[in-house]
Structure 1
Amino acid sequence: MCLCMTLAYQLAWQHALRGESENVQRQLGLYAQALAQRIDRYRTLPEVLSLDPELRSALHQALDQPLSPSQVDHLNRKLELANGVSQASTLTLIDLHGKALAASNWRDARSNVGEDYSFRPYVQQALAQGSGRFYGIGMTTGLAGYFLSRAIEDEHGRITGLVAIKILLHELESEWLQVPDTVLASDAHGVVFLASGDDWRYRLLQPLSAADEAELAATRQYANQPLRPLRYKVEEQLDHGGTLARLQEPALPGRTLWHTQLLPASRWQLHLLHNTDASRTTSRWAAAAAGGAWLALCLLWLFVRQRQRITRLRLRSRQELETVLHQHAQELRTAQDGILQAAQQAARTTDTGLSPSLEHLPQGVVIIDADLNLVAWNSRYVELFRYPAELMRVGHPIEDLLRHNARRGLLGSGPMEGAIQRRLQHLRSGKPHLHESAKGDGTVLEIRGNPLPGGGFVTSYADITSYKNAARELRSLADTLEKRIAERTRDLDAAKQEAERANRYKTRFVNAAVHDLLQPLNAARMYTSLLPGHLHDAAGRQVAHSIDQALASQDAILTSLLDIARMESGQLEVHVRDFALNALLEVVQNNFGMQAESEGLTLRCLPTHYVVHSDEALLRRILQNFVSNAIRYTRKGRIVVGCRRVGQQLRIEVHDQGPGIPESLQQEVFEEFRRLDEGHADDRGTGLGLAIVERLGRLLGHEIGLRSQLGKGSVFWVTVPLGDATALAPQPVPSHVQQPDTGPLHGACAWYVEDDPSTRAATCALLQRWGCQLPFAGGAPEALAEAAPGNAPQLVLLDVHLGAFYGPDVYTQLCERWGSAPPVILLTAERDATLRRQAAERGWGFLAKPVRPPALRALMSQTLVRGREGG
């Protein structure tokens, strides 16, 4: 038994320890991900601020002369505004000599402004390599944090200073305190700088070398904080990872399971110390169970042996008993005959009517003969009806008992004789019956009667009062529940109506906010399109190109956010039909071929003859996002777009030769604002492309997926159903239109109705540059006042939201005053599919703000040419 207990203890200990190790490793992964996400939240802020012209100008000036107090105050407030309301970070602007010119904590008594940080590694790294990172205790504030720095360059590419952000990680330690385990984070020197307890912080996991001590002293990474050793003894290295150790200082009870994970983005290590008392308890119980099982087997064997011995004894004594039984058999038979004779005599002489065979029954029972006289009953029957003793005699008529009950009101409120005769007649008929009767004291009886074979009747009376009360309470409870369900249903209906009303309010608010956001962006795009014509040096044109790219990126972010909002609110319309896939792949090849070549890549879309069933525009959006991401994250090689048939489905795949995606991040890349760090430095995307792809796939019912291998590349794919090739109608061949030598916009007369002054000014300057004549440019009231018969333009550019006026209604009134209907192009920030469809049905042009100048020029030219051809 001891050997069995020892073996069970060891097996249970290993199994429990393996399970706890797996749990600890999963927890370590979650802690590492939380730490990385917290740092990633602030990672892009220094990069964005390094492009700020005010910061670049201030650092350039600081090279020659010190900044004035007003300039420093302005920079302090700018950094404070950039840092926002968060108290978990600090922004600092540092010059080329390591001196802090401005900081977001300038209001604090221990501000960073004016301090010398040239000895800090993150300053030296940024000035030498362009960026840096460092964890240490702040020399000014005394608070520990993680520093991220980014160099700031002038227009000639020279480094003039840097901007640094300090991220406080004490919130992570507060979260670690909520778990019973001990969580530690150590740096490359083995110094614990984050811990779930104060006693564990600034402990040494290993002795410091002389070089490490010199480096810590030079960088003052941990200031004057004493570094004490963490004393522990390793007892066992586990095969499945981890270590069993005993912690001596700080002390932990029992044996501790120690797991370590290296953080990939740095040389840090994350440690988790887990108490193994639960595994030890499980092992002890397993040993006790094994010992109990072994003891039970031994007792079972002893029991079998005892049974065999008793059986032999019984066989031996059976013969002796048979002799004794044979001798007493005659005497027993004689005694039994005497007992039976005495019982028969006693039955003939009794006249009480109480039957011993009926006394054990819980119901009241009465038996009458064919003449309706009493034969037998039990005590429960007398107790239920409280009959007097003189009525309960054998041979007494049952009619007297019924009459006694009638006088007490137990037969109802009708005529007494009629009620008695009905019951007597029913007994004479000999028909079985079952009914319920309520007594005056609230007792409810179930009365069941059945005829006897030789004549007579037996009736039982069961007290079912408790059952009826329970049924009554259940009915009352059911009624109460129905009322509550009805009330809850009304509350839910009211809440649903309130939610729908709030959603309508939100939609109107979003549309108005989008209109206000896109108006200045549209004006900025128009002005930037005019800049190249006014700039004559390459540097100025490069700045104008950079501004246009930044506005295009902002346009892409707003468009993506609006698309996500429309998909989640169900406002994005889907037009599914059968179409040839090859034409769509040719569009992708034409749109991205030149961009791939500019990045040193080769893009090839393999031709296909398949017909698919989907929304052509939305499917093109999915493939464009796949190809755009492939170009962004592929350094060299080629990108291939091809198709594979899988049953009745067609899988469109985009192959690239990029760095690949780790398996742990393959689901996260489809989340909003989730970007990898392997993209080109000047084009990392917005982090919304794959999130839109995932939602479009759900909207269309198409499966989206990827497979990737680190160092070899990734494959993104979408599965679409095959369509019917015979249902496609042949496309008409467009006739060649001879274009005039001069541009259609030159000399064209146009009216521009827009209520936003900045957008109107930018667009008017652009149209005049193209040679258009603008007799009128203004708001809706001015346009209605100006319109008159005979002064209709060749083209009308019209905004939809014009203050209190609605663009299509204004156009109708203008046509009535002109007496004609010139072509119209709607320029609007509202991305409503219904409005776009209505414009298409009426033959109107439609462009969504912010308007790209090439798109506006192309649509205006096409509209004027079509108008001239149609007379």
Structure 2
Amino acid sequence: MHLPRPHRIFWTIAAIAGGMVLAMWGAEHYARHRALQEESDSVRRQLGLYAQALQQRVDRYRTLPQVLVLDAELRDAVSHPLSASEVQRLNHKLERANGASQSSTLTLIDRNGVALAASNWRDPRSNVGVDYSFRPYVQQALSQGKGHFYGIGLTTGVPGYFLSQAILDAHGEVQGIVVIKIALEELEREWLQMPDIVLASDAHGVVFLASRSEWRYRLLRPLGEQDRRQLQATRQYADQTLLPLRYRTLERTDDDGSIARIEDPAVDGRLLWQTLPLPESTWTLHLLHDTHAATIAGRWAAVAAAGAWLALSLLVLFVQQRRRVQAIRLRSRRELEAVLQQHARELRTAQDGIVQAAKQADTGLSRSLEHLPQGVVVIDADLRLVAWNSRYVELFRFPQELLRTGRPIEDLFRYNARRGLLGPGPIEESIQRRLRHLRSGRPHLRESEKGDGTVLEIRGNPLPDGGFVTSYADITSYKNAARELRSLADALEHRIAERTRDLDQARRDAENANRYKTRFVAAAVHDLLQPLNAARMFVSVLRGHLADDASRHVADNIEGALSAQDAILGSLLDISRMESGQMQPQVRDFRLAPLLEALLREFGILAGSRGLRLRGVRSSCTVRSDEALLRRILQNYLSNAIRYTHQGRILLGCRREGRHLRIEVHDQGPGIPESLQREIFEEFRRLNEGHGDDRGAGLGLAIVERIGRVLDHRIGLRSQLGRGSVFWVCVPLGDPAAIEHVPAPPPVSESQDDSPLRGCVCWCIDDDARACEAMRALLQRWACAVPVAGGPQDALAAARPGGAPQLVLMDVRMGTVYGPHLYARLCELWGKSPPMILVTAERDEALRREAAEQGWGFLAKPVRASALRALMSQTLLRHR
């Protein structure tokens, strides 16, 4: 059943419109969901960084109360009533300690909860004499030995995070409490620089930290009766009014996030809300991110889908029209061939029958040709008219008196030429060219466009016994449709080209943003390593002045925390260098056995301290790789294996795979789910089954993945839940004959009496005053003389001819001053070139090569005291 033409057009348009709406809806939904998922992943990574920054800010001051409770003067102060002069002396002592740590307030509290002394004693609203016994951090310290609490200060009105540590007597009884109050306003100011909204809430659902002031002290959920009583008892937020945060959850995301609309305080648009509970606390971090970009991406996807659907629909219509035209042509051709065959039979039976019948005809119209949709004209061997149909007359608008049987076809050509239908050029030449073609008897097919825009398809075929039949088909609608389709195709190609340019620009913008991020990370890590270096040297000096085991234990804890921080910053810097292409591997052939033996010795002690057995399988193979970077990969594998294995054994071994060697680390840990086996090679991805105090920062395997790409080494793992994991790296085998035999360096004497450092005159040049002070204290402990420890200007002012030191310790980047250039100027002033060691946070391989070429020592910050002592001794001995 065929529908009428208007109905077909209506349903075609309806199908195209409906399909376009569905395509737009599907593309918009998919693109917005995909964009939201990518933004959600980015927000969760950002939340992890915020959580790490908050934890590090608290950890920076966590050990200060532990150190202060060891102070003899503070321990004595809580054991007897204090006089006014003793209270004043304690106030000054806490004030000095507070000034050095840059914390908010230090307070000494007795066993009854009354503040004996405080670092803010000069403030009119001082803590001295105030009863804090109702505060949770006091009650926790009295019952558990230490405590923590966030709240608004009752005397100062300033919020902060309180850490408390109990002072115990010889019998383990609490005599007093040391409390440090940490101000977190600086963290909120850092959050303020971000476009997103960052919040921190407590166990009651109260927002106590916020990047925007109007969000602070808002309730994420209604308070229960028990929560109200607890807040009133502790006066955690003093008299601050807690307003509800009014919002509506619109939908949930796949990763436990949500899309919400905030009503009070009012925020325009829909926000992506992600949360992250902070480990070892009852706090929760929240990040609210604007989803406008995802909405725009969805709209662009809908527009693109609509354009694609329209293009596809027009293409289908074009193909259908083309098939319809071809079917009409085929039918017409068959009908015409049938007619021609019939005429040919008539001509064969009566050769002059057509001419005779034509002479007797009045008009020459042929009834057998009238049903054809094309215009048809038949001429004989003398090029005279024999037959034609009315469609032929309509197409060329011939007058009736012009058409008669026996008239030469040349007369019709001349009539059309006078009307300009034969095209440009000389008229006579055009007529003769057509007559010659008809006499040749060759078939032809061409198209011709008339002045009114009508396009004709002209098809001519010779008759068997002479003569010619020509058909004229009107293909104007087909040509118009083809032109429209070409115009649409050109428009689509133009839009695709514009979209390609936009994508190229977006790619270039992303590459520029990645370069800026890499530079920012390198600069930030460089600045963070400066104070960390000073802190590690101060701890080395402090350990030499501690006599009791408890104090050394605290110093060891501080050293461990600084080492962990050093490892995180070093990992971040390594990732930055690898992403920016600054890390150039030094590939060579070397024996694998010494590397494996060194790793087994290094990690065997750590594994034994945790009750694990580390075993290795010897290998005599030679491999081709960068020994330092390969060592880094295996160190990370072994470190993770020890961290996540609670009992059992760990195996380090090798397997041959053709021209490659696969180095494997087997553990008996909890195993890794298959869904996480790809994600753990990303930054800040870590499992929660590690030791409580050593779960890592989630950067080790990310560095392994990047080193593998730099070295073109395949890395991978296989794991089974409950049975353990195997991490491996595949290294090409090397040529044993190509190994260079380098003699081992002479051992450095560790004796204090014959140490080359005793009496050595050293200059320390660094633009960080704390680093200079720490370096001076450490060198003086080693019996070195340090007449100069300051910045570049101090060194230039102190330099005199003949006054060169025996050794120079110098930073590289000191503001606008470049260390090697400053060293050259100093050598000119001294008239001598003493040995130099570059002590820097720079990790540039080009700088290392320059130091090696010049014969300078090189030591990366933060500096380990043992490494500095060994390098100084070797440098002095070599120079002598």
TM-score range, shorter chain: 0.5 to 0.7
1:804 to 791, 806, 816: 816
Do residues 445 (structure 1) and 447 (structure 2) align? no
State the 1:586 CA deviation.
1.2
Q: Is the CA contact 1:784–1:814 (under 8 Å) kept in the aligned structure 2?
A: yes
Do residues 424 (structure 1) and 435 (structure 2) align? yes
Q: Is the CA contact 2:108–2:117 (under 8 Å) kept in the aligned structure 1?
A: no
Q: Is the CA contact 1:353–1:375 (under 8 Å) kept in the aligned structure 2?
A: yes
Aligned length: 622
1:591 to 602, 624, 638: 602
Q: Which amino acid aligns with 2:844?
A: D
1:95 to 136, 139, 163: 139
- Shift of the 779–39 alpha-carbon distance from structure 1 to 2, 3 Å rule, reads closer
- After TM superposition, the structure 1 = structure 2 runs for residues 125-524 of structure 1, keeping only pairs within 5 Å, are 142-143=222-223, 178=252, 350-481=361-492, 483-524=494-535
Tell me the SS of whatever aligns to 2:849. Answer: helix
Describe the superposition over 1:805-855 as per-residue Cα deviations: whole angstroms up to 9, x where unpaired: 122222233334444433322221122233223333433322221111111
- 1:781 equivalent in structure 2: 793
For the residues of structure 2 that align with 1:94 and 1:365, how far apart are their CA atoms? 112
Tell me the SS of whatever aligns to 1:559. Answer: helix
Describe the superposition over 1:125-147 as per-residue Cα deviations: whole angstroms up to 9, x where unpaired: xxxxxxxxx99999998537999
Q: Which amino acid aligns with 2:616?
A: C
Q: Is the CA contact 2:538–2:774 (under 8 Å) kept in the aligned structure 1?
A: yes
State the 1:632 CA deviation.
2.8
* Range with bigger deviation, 92-101 or 821-830: 92-101
For the residues of structure 1 that align with 2:703 and 2:220, how far apart are their CA atoms? 45
For the residues of structure 1 that align with 2:143 and 2:442, how far apart are their CA atoms? 113
Q: Which amino acid aligns with 1:592?
A: F
- 1:731 equivalent in structure 2: 741
State the 1:556 CA deviation.
1.2
- 1:842 equivalent in structure 2: 854
Structure 2, unaligned stretches of length 5 or more?
1-42, 70-105, 126-134, 163-201, 207-218, 228-233, 237-243, 261-279, 281-348
Q: Which amino acid aligns with 2:369?
A: L
Describe the superposition over 1:513-567 as per-residue Cα deviations: whole angstroms up to 9, x where unpaired: 2222111111101110000222222222221111111111111111122223333
- 2:729 equivalent in structure 1: 719
State the 1:620 CA deviation.
1.1
1:762 to 757, 770, 774: 774
Q: Is the CA contact 1:749–1:775 (under 8 Å) kept in the aligned structure 2?
A: yes
Q: Which amino acid aligns with 1:761?
A: E
State the 1:720 CA deviation.
1.1
Q: Which amino acid aligns with 2:112?
A: D
Q: Which amino acid aligns with 1:783?
A: A
Tell me the SS of whatever aligns to 2:620. Answer: coil
- Shift of the 142–420 alpha-carbon distance from structure 1 to 2, 3 Å rule, reads closer
Tell me the SS of whatever aligns to 1:95. Answer: helix
Tell me the SS of whatever aligns to 1:574. Answer: coil
For the residues of structure 2 that align with 1:62 and 1:742, how far apart are their CA atoms? 51
Do residues 65 (structure 1) and 149 (structure 2) align? no
- After TM superposition, the structure 1 = structure 2 runs for residues 108-127 of structure 1, keeping only pairs within 5 Å, are none
For the residues of structure 1 that align with 2:776 and 2:782, how far apart are their CA atoms? 10
State the 1:429 CA deviation.
3.5
For the residues of structure 2 that align with 1:788 and 1:69, how far apart are their CA atoms? 50
Tell me the SS of whatever aligns to 1:390. Answer: coil
* Range with bigger deviation, 727-736 or 389-398: 727-736
State the 1:500 CA deviation.
4.4
For the residues of structure 2 that align with 1:41 and 1:54, how far apart are their CA atoms? 25
Q: Which amino acid aligns with 1:353?
A: G
State the 1:65 CA deviation.
2.5
- 2:313 equivalent in structure 1: none
State the 1:45 CA deviation.
6.4
Identity of counterpart residues, as a percentage?
A: 58
For the residues of structure 2 that align with 1:716 and 1:537, how far apart are their CA atoms? 44
Q: Is the CA contact 1:137–1:145 (under 8 Å) kept in the aligned structure 2?
A: no
Do residues 638 (structure 1) and 624 (structure 2) align? no
For the residues of structure 2 that align with 1:437 and 1:770, how far apart are their CA atoms? 104
Tell me the SS of whatever aligns to 1:764. Answer: helix
Q: Is the CA contact 1:582–1:607 (under 8 Å) kept in the aligned structure 2?
A: yes
- 2:863 equivalent in structure 1: 851
- Shift of the 418–176 alpha-carbon distance from structure 1 to 2, 3 Å rule, reads closer
TM-score normalised by length of structure 2: 0.61
- 1:860 equivalent in structure 2: 872
Over the residues paired in the alignment, what is the CA RMSD in angstroms? 5.0
For the residues of structure 2 that align with 1:428 and 1:631, how far apart are their CA atoms? 99
1:622 to 630, 633, 641: 633
- Shift of the 436–659 alpha-carbon distance from structure 1 to 2, 3 Å rule, reads closer
State the 1:366 CA deviation.
1.4
State the 1:762 CA deviation.
0.7
Describe the superposition over 1:206-235 as per-residue Cα deviations: whole angstroms up to 9, x where unpaired: xxxxxxxxxxxxxxxxxxxxxxxxxxxxxx
For the residues of structure 2 that align with 1:515 and 1:790, how far apart are their CA atoms? 35
For the residues of structure 1 that align with 2:505 and 2:602, how far apart are their CA atoms? 50
- 2:175 equivalent in structure 1: none
For the residues of structure 2 that align with 1:428 and 1:473, how far apart are their CA atoms? 39
* Range with bigger deviation, 454-463 or 723-732: 723-732
Structure 1, unaligned stretches of length 5 or more?
1-33, 78-90, 115-133, 148-160, 164-169, 184-195, 197-264, 266-339
- After TM superposition, the structure 1 = structure 2 runs for residues 591-610 of structure 1, keeping only pairs within 5 Å, are 591-610=602-621
State the 1:790 CA deviation.
3.1
Q: Which amino acid aligns with 1:626?
A: Y
For the residues of structure 1 that align with 2:150 and 2:593, how far apart are their CA atoms? 57
Q: Is the CA contact 1:135–1:144 (under 8 Å) kept in the aligned structure 2?
A: no
Describe the superposition over 1:216-258 as per-residue Cα deviations: whole angstroms up to 9, x where unpaired: xxxxxxxxxxxxxxxxxxxxxxxxxxxxxxxxxxxxxxxxxxx
Q: Is the CA contact 1:94–1:102 (under 8 Å) kept in the aligned structure 2?
A: no
State the 1:672 CA deviation.
3.8
Tell me the SS of whatever aligns to 2:448. Answer: strand
- 1:792 equivalent in structure 2: 804
For the residues of structure 1 that align with 2:203 and 2:794, how far apart are their CA atoms? 63
State the 1:684 CA deviation.
3.2
For the residues of structure 2 that align with 1:616 and 1:720, how far apart are their CA atoms? 14
For the residues of structure 2 that align with 1:710 and 1:480, how far apart are their CA atoms? 56
Q: Which amino acid aligns with 1:632?
A: R
Do residues 650 (structure 1) and 665 (structure 2) align? no
State the 1:627 CA deviation.
1.7
Q: Which amino acid aligns with 1:428?
A: R
Q: Is the CA contact 1:626–1:716 (under 8 Å) kept in the aligned structure 2?
A: no
For the residues of structure 2 that align with 1:424 and 1:641, how far apart are their CA atoms? 95
Describe the superposition over 1:324-350 as per-residue Cα deviations: whole angstroms up to 9, x where unpaired: xxxxxxxxxxxxxxxx99xx9997865
* Range with bigger deviation, 783-792 or 536-545: 783-792
- Shift of the 679–145 alpha-carbon distance from structure 1 to 2, 3 Å rule, reads farther
- Shift of the 735–517 alpha-carbon distance from structure 1 to 2, 3 Å rule, reads closer
- Shift of the 456–821 alpha-carbon distance from structure 1 to 2, 3 Å rule, reads farther
- 1:553 equivalent in structure 2: 564
State the 1:480 CA deviation.
4.2
Q: Is the CA contact 2:454–2:474 (under 8 Å) kept in the aligned structure 1?
A: yes
For the residues of structure 2 that align with 1:848 and 1:364, how far apart are their CA atoms? 94
- 2:585 equivalent in structure 1: 574
Q: Which amino acid aligns with 2:418?
A: R
For the residues of structure 1 that align with 2:611 and 2:734, how far apart are their CA atoms? 39
Q: Is the CA contact 1:136–1:145 (under 8 Å) kept in the aligned structure 2?
A: no
Q: Is the CA contact 1:611–1:722 (under 8 Å) kept in the aligned structure 2?
A: no
Tell me the SS of whatever aligns to 2:872. Answer: helix
Q: Is the CA contact 2:759–2:784 (under 8 Å) kept in the aligned structure 1?
A: yes
Q: Is the CA contact 1:72–1:102 (under 8 Å) kept in the aligned structure 2?
A: no
Tell me the SS of whatever aligns to 1:389. Answer: coil
TM-score normalised by length of structure 1: 0.61
